[in-house]
Structure 1
Amino acid sequence: MIPSFWLSTLDPVTPRPPLPGDRSYDVVIVGGGYTGLWTAYYLSQVAPHLSICVLEASYCGFGASGRNGGWASGLFPVGHAKLARRYGAAQATAMHAALAGAVDEVGRASAAEGIDCHYAKGGTISLARSPAQLRRARKSAGFLPQDEAAAMCNATDVLGGVYSPDCAALHPARLVRGLADVVSRHADIYEGTRVLSIARGSVTTSHGTVTAGTVVRALEGYTSQLEGHRRALAPVYSLMIATEPLPESDWERIGLARRETFTDERHMIIYGQRTADDRLAFGGRGAPYHFGSRVEPSYDQVPAVFDSLAQTLTDMFRIRPRIAYRWGGPLGIPRDWMPSVGLRDGVAWAGGYVGDGVAAANLAGRTLADLIAGETTERTTLPWVNHRSRRWEPEPIRWLGINAALRATTLRDALEKHPAPAR
């Protein structure tokens, strides 16, 4: 695997030793990313008497936690209106408020633990750059007129935008590696330990079996690789590029003075940030879903998608910067796009963030800590708690459906950019 820009800026990772054979704990957490580590972190605070271990197939931060876009955002893949129809307006509001609070909690906890993850809460702006995008933007809370949107992020063809203060830009690998160091003071972390199967009360690994009163599944985009979970979450790839540092003259024109994260109102998701060292880190969807939910290192590299991302930066900001890094990896998508967190019969889980997991994983970790400790809190009554998404369809329906949706999304954007002439 080619490391992300984020991981490339850190000292080379030396994995911790693997599981040294059969062991017993009160809680075993499968997955050394944000979800698993935040769960261990908060659980060690609310229930310090519990023994905890974290199992990671490679090293902490190998997956999406070490290579994402660095958005700690209050975004949730299911909109307020849809949540309100199913759970009521109060619950929908509570879900979004909890996520907004998680953005601040990531910053607070990082500062408290001395994790310098380049946290900057500048908010996020979604630009409207076509008439169709403008029509969508006008319906959203936080709508900005053209002059205000362009003053924040001076991209080409800006007609307006939508701003939310509930987002912070950060360095994701600094966060996950720093968090792993903190957690290692309170729990045992075994890296280089692939989990083969989980069951109530036990986890079978490549290095032995761990028995535990509670088993936590926190594998996100790699969930489909676990025995019996092939259709739980679809691993869909998101790819990124990072430029060389841009000169100050470019930033004076582009803006993003508070390191606001940015996107636009197109249907195919794109996302970017101004890094602490003045690069543009920019990513998007568009890579194909692979038959059978396969996950392979070679899938991280799709030259056509990298070229498209670079061209999008040129189109947006009239620059042709040198692209210094290219990388990617899978994220987890549930069939109904509804992330979930829960605990049933001794097995806990969290995930399905659809790419918005940096802050959501923090909220999930706190929620799992409450559930495992037997505490009833405002978090444990949120609508995503104990939600169960139906499984994805079997192949080849899954492959056909997901890739058809990707192509349809690309076509919708093309038609909005170049609408058919009126008859």
Structure 2
Amino acid sequence: MSRTLPAVTDASPDAARRVSFWLDDLVVQGLDDLRPRAALAANARFDVCLIGGGLTALWTAYSLAKADPSLRIAVLEREFAGFGASGRNGGWCSALFPQSAAAIERDHGFDQAVAMRRAMIDTVEEVGRATALEGIDCDYAMGGTLVFARNGPQRELAAGEVEEARRFGVDPLEYWNEDAVGARFGATSLDEDAPSAMFDPSCARVHPAKLVRGLARVVERLGVAVFERTEVVDWSAGRVRFRALDAGGAEGTVSARHVIVATEGYGARLPRVRRRILPLYSLMIATEPLSDEVWQEIGIDHGQTFSDYRHLLVYGQRTADNRFAFGGRGASYHWGSALDPAYERVDSVFAHLHSALHDLFPSLGAARITHRWGGPLGVARDWNATASYNPKTGVGFAGAYVGDGLSTTNLAGRTMADLVHGVDSELTRLPWVNHRSPLWEPEPLRYIGANLGVIGMRFADAEEQLTQRPSLVARAVGRLTGH
């Protein structure tokens, strides 16, 4: 029988493991009991206070501690390290960035677009180097990502993406034609021709919970204080107000020279973030482990991630224990940027994901779905991520990865460390540094626009299948998101 995985409502390990397959798997493998660390229960003073216990905060803490071991660093997390997107995502350590190279070129010029792409490609390898150095076994395997093109418009997109990459001269993308894909993969087409594909070697498969929980232990060994069950209520220059969810609900203040906000989609519940980030839910399923014979028919190797060129995004990987972990968009945005465990469990979206996976790879057969889960990702109004820091106030903000955060968090952490230390580096000169996105519109405009975007992507896929021409709806929505 499959299990629907709600968000944490208490501090018990059983509640924590229900957040995602990845966290549940840690307990099953005996790698982590998910018992929460102690809350901060009294006023304290640190040099750096990081708000949020995900990969952005932890990579920032890691980079700061490595650069200056004398720094007193604290991480404050409302639930537990890895509770948010860092412990729920699809496990793609990729060179993807929310803004395309063409969009960056329009705003910042060709050289900056190339620098950003090069930094993202380097980051994929940097995650591998850092995890190997620190002994974090997170199933990191560099197998690249394969994006299937299953009808005429999708084949045009694939070929165009490869051609654009050649113009920038950074991405080593490859176009695999119908013969190559048909001979190797059990993916289906949406027309009479076999699918083709775009292959990007700059992507690694990882187990996200092993990564984030392992990184939390590493930063603790480096002297970083990680406080869980500690809810940040507000902050200002030099001060962070918090409330301990345990320890009798004690309230207090952290004094710190540097305050870094790294809350991603969950920041929408904080007044100072509210309209800066829109929480958009993405949901996932995991199958039972499949036999080697089934995987041979499917053709996806260990280390490979995959998607296709539909507009309503899907993404997947072959896990180290031979499951499909598969997710996608389609859940609604909720009024007022509301966050609720119920929004992580949408039966119609789970059914869509199961159907989409089976449609793409019929060799899946009657494989059982063992886990269902989801969570919010953070979206800025211009769909542009940022690593920002104000040296006058000592306040920084990093996030809005639009689902491309597993690797980008590492780049953010290294960049934030340079910004805090006042270092002028190649990282601090990248175009996303100190980018300030416009605020999202007030309701009801935000609600209407966000949900029209989701609905529009569904229509775009249907339109392309019907007309066999690139979608006009997708082009209109793309202009709204800066692509």
TM-score with structure 2 setting the length: 0.86
Following superposition, the deviation at residue 135 of structure 1 comes to 1.2
Deviation at 1:342, TM superposition (A): 1.2
Amino acid at match of 1:278: N
Choose from 369, 377, 389 the match for 1:331. 377
Kindly indicate whether residue 240 of structure 2 is the aligned counterpart of residue 200 of structure 1. no
Match of 1:25 among 46, 59, 71: 46
Q: Distance in 2 between matches of 1:196 and 1:4?
A: 26
CA distance in 2, matches of 1:61, 1:233: 19
Shift of 1:248: 1.3
Match of 1:128 in 2: 149
User: Which residue number in structure 1 is paired with residue 453 of structure 2?
Assistant: 405
Verify: 1:419 aligned to 2:440, yes or no.
Answer: no
CA deviations over 1:22-58 (Å, ceiling 9, x no partner): 1011100001000000000010011222110000000
User: Given the alignment of the two structures, is residue 320 of structure 1 paired with residue 336 of structure 2, yes or no?
Assistant: no
Q: Per the alignment, do residues 225 and 152 of structure 1 end up closer, same or farther by CA in structure 2, a change over 3 Å counting?
A: farther
Q: CA deviation at 1:420?
A: 8.2
Aligned to 1:233: 277
Equivalent of 1:85, from 90, 106, 118?
Answer: 106
The 1:49/1:240 distance shift into structure 2, 3 A limit, reads same
C-alpha offsets along residues 263-309 of structure 1, whole Å, 9 cap, x if unaligned?
00011110000000000000000000000001111111000000010
> 1:148-206 CA deviation, whole Å, 9 max, x = no partner?
23455431114211111110000000000000001112210110000011111111111
Tell me by how many angstroms 1:21 deviates. Answer: 0.8
Q: Report matched runs for 1:217-232 at 5 Å.
A: 217-232=261-276
Alignment of 1:186-335 (within 5 A): 186-206=223-243, 207-318=251-362, 319-335=365-381
AA aligned opposite 1:199: S
> Is the contact made by 1:314 and 1:320 (CA closer than 8 Å) also made in structure 2?
no
8 Å CA contact retained: 2:238, 2:256 = yes
Where does residue 181 of structure 2 map in the other structure?
149
Deviation at 1:62, TM superposition (A): 0.3
Contact persistence 1:201–1:214 (CA under 8 A): yes
Contact residue 267 and residue 412 of structure 1 kept, 8 A: yes
Distance 1:95 1:326 in 2: 34
- CA–CA separation in structure 2 for the residues paired with 1:26 and 1:263: 43
Aligned partner (choices 7, 20, 24) of residue 4 of structure 1: 20
Aligned to 2:168: none
Q: Residues 129 and 420 from structure 1, CA distance in 2 versus in 1: closer, same or farther, beyond 3 angstroms?
A: closer
Residue 60 of structure 1 and its aligned partner are, at CA, apart by: 0.1
Q: What letter corresponds to residue 329 of structure 1 in structure 2?
A: G
- Structure 2 unpaired stretches of 5+: 1-6, 8-17, 28-32, 163-173, 244-250, 470-483
- SS at 1:386's partner residue? coil
| Match of residue 439, structure 2, among 363, 367, 391 | 391
Note if contact 2:81-2:213 (Cα within 8 Å) is conserved in structure 1.
yes
- Report what 1:161 is aligned to: 197
Give the match's secondary structure for 1:418: helix
Name the structure 2 match of 1:349.
397
Aligned residues: 421
Secondary structure of 1:116's counterpart equals coil
Aligned partner of 1:44 among 51, 59, 65: 65
2:213 aligns with 177
1:153 and 1:399 mapped to 2: Cα distance?
40
Amino acid paired to 1:139: G
Aligned counterparts of 1:362 and 1:150: Cα–Cα separation in 2 = 36
* Corresponding position: 1:362 with 2:391: no
Moved more, 251-260 or 176-185: 251-260
Q: What amino acid sits opposite 2:325 in the alignment?
A: A
Residue ranges of structure 1 left out of the alignment (5+ in a row): none
Q: What is the CA deviation profile of residues 109-137 of structure 1, one whole-angstrom value per residue up to 9, with x for unaligned ones?
A: 11111111000100001110111111111
1:417 CA drift (Å): 2.1
Give the Cα separation in 2 of the matches to 1:150 and 1:267: 23
Deviates more, 1:311-320 or 1:186-195: 311-320
**SS at 2:436's partner residue?**
coil
SS at match of 1:391: coil
Q: Over residues 83-129 of structure 1, what are the superposed CA-to-partner deviations in whole Å (9 max), with x where a residue is unaligned?
A: 11111111111101111111111111111111110001000011101
One-letter identity of the residue aligned with 2:240: V
Shift of 1:81: 1.1
3-state secondary structure, aligned to 1:395: coil
Aligned to 2:138: 117
TM-score by length of 1: 0.98
SS at the partner of 1:209?
A: strand
Amino acid at match of 1:209: T
Residue 386 of structure 2 corresponds to which residue in structure 1? Answer: 340
Q: Deviations over 1:217-259 (max 9, x none)?
A: 0000111111222101100000000000011111111111243
DSSP 3-state at the match of 1:329: strand
Letter in 2 for 1:397: L
Q: Distance in 2 between matches of 1:109 and 1:56?
A: 23
Q: Given the superposition, is the C-alpha separation of residues 260 and 152 from structure 1 closer, same or farther in structure 2, using an over 3 Å criterion?
A: farther
